[in-house]
Amino acid sequence: MAAPIIRRALLYVPGSSKKMLDKSRGLKVDTIAYDLEDSVTPNKKEEARQNLRHLLQQPRAAGIREQAVRVNSVESGLALADLQEVLQSPNLDALVLPKCNSASDLHFLTDVLRQTLPARHPSTPSSSTTDPPPIRLIALIESAKAIQNLPSICAASPYLSGLIFAAEDFALDLSITRTPSLHEFLYARSAIATAARAANLASTIDLVCTAYSGAQGLKTLEEECLNGKGMGFNGKQAIHPSQVEVCQRVFSPGEAELEWAVRIVVADEKAAEAGRGAWTLDGKMIDIPVVGKAKAVVERAKSCGIDVDGVREKW
Ligand code: 1VU
């Protein structure tokens, strides 16, 4: 069975910066999105494509779980040229599609994948596994139109694996100003987290914290991560290597959360033997959905590489 997809941090690395591309290969991060879009100026697009083609030919770096490329949007007219440079690499795991406004943007990408790499993307679903597996798609939701179209976007491609919320473009679209409270994004973020869950997508990745330097920047980042986790996001975009550790820590089950979950799973095994579906722990009622949540925390911890057996031994 394929390993679950974990994207606690998705770090952008500008494709035009050889220095940052080299640096990225030494990092320990769930997903790197090598960028061809907004961090690359029009006069550097071609150079950036060549840089990424070269980088994706190199052996995989040990610390990176998933290598993605953020291509330019379909509406920009630049996406096809981006795809032609990077698609042939077996080391490309995912594509990030910016400004995904409707299902047709994902239809375009899906068609290109099927025509360019038919063995990796058979047009009729097949039970046999392909090696390398299909390239996964992650869509950036950046506009009011995209929010309105979430159900059809989520159903647009069998390769869609996650949604990302882009706060700055969304604020531009709605003529609103980002505030530290993030209240102005409540509806959009809830809609994205809910739609991704309803479509059973692996990841829902929250807005960028633009403050990246110093203790205050990291404190703001941690608060934003906790806020996003509380809304149903399971990862966050990062723009600087210093942000990765905080994102990956907060979007992993914490020590107390895992102890709580393991205690419930262990106690539930005993309750089930005794024929009790609802029971109490520390003065609180525990029933099927609470046990389900505890089991999900345990599974998530395992996927994050946490030693669950060590915690279980205590109980
Ligand atoms: O230690 P070294 O000198 O070798 O390296 C520097 C720097 O090159 C490196 N670094 C990075 N490496 C890989 N990926 C990165 N994203 C990255 N950022 C920095 O780390 C060392 C320390 O860097 P620094 O603190 O001196 O920072 P800089 O002034 O060099 O760079 C700061 C910015 C913000 C410009 C840089 O981090 C950056 O370009 N980040 C990515 C921005 C980006 O991709 N924006 C678009 C995506 S966000 C979006 O679209 C929202 C939806």
Instruction: Report the pLDDT value the prediction gives residue 313, as an integer from 0 to 100.
Output: 82
Question: For 45-79, what is each residue's pLDDT tens digit?
Answer: 999 999 999 999 999 999 999 999 999 999 999 99
Query: How far is the C-alpha of 213 from the C-alpha of 205, rounded, in Å?
Result: 21
Task: Among 37, 239, 243, 247, name the best residue to mutate to test ligand 1's pocket (greatest count of ligand atoms within 8 A of Cβ).
Answer: 239
pLDDT at 124: 78
Q: What is the average per-residue pLDDT within 230-237? A: 98
Residue 95: CB partners within 8 Å, gap ≥ 6? 68, 69, 70, 71, 83, 109, 135, 136, 137, 138
State the complex-level ipTM: 0.98
Angstrom CA distances, 288 to 45, 268, 303, 315, stand at 53, 9, 23, 20
Which residues, at least 6 apart from 111, have a Cβ–Cβ distance to it below 8 Å? Answer: none
What is the pTM (predicted TM-score) of this model? 0.95
Q: Are strands 136-141 and 203-206 parallel, antiparallel or unpaired?
A: unpaired
> What single DSSP character describes residue 43?
G
pLDDT tens readout for residues 130-185: 778 999 999 999 999 999 999 999 999 999 999 999 999 999 999 999 999 999 99
User: Would the pLDDT of 263 be above 70?
Assistant: yes
Identify any residues that bridge with 165 across adjacent strands, giving them in sequence order: 141
Pocket residue to mutate for ligand 1, from 18, 19, 20, 173, most atoms within 8 A of Cβ = 20
For residue 51, the tally of other CB atoms under 10 A from its CB is 21
Write down the pLDDT at residue 130. 72
CB 110 within 8 A of CB 156: yes
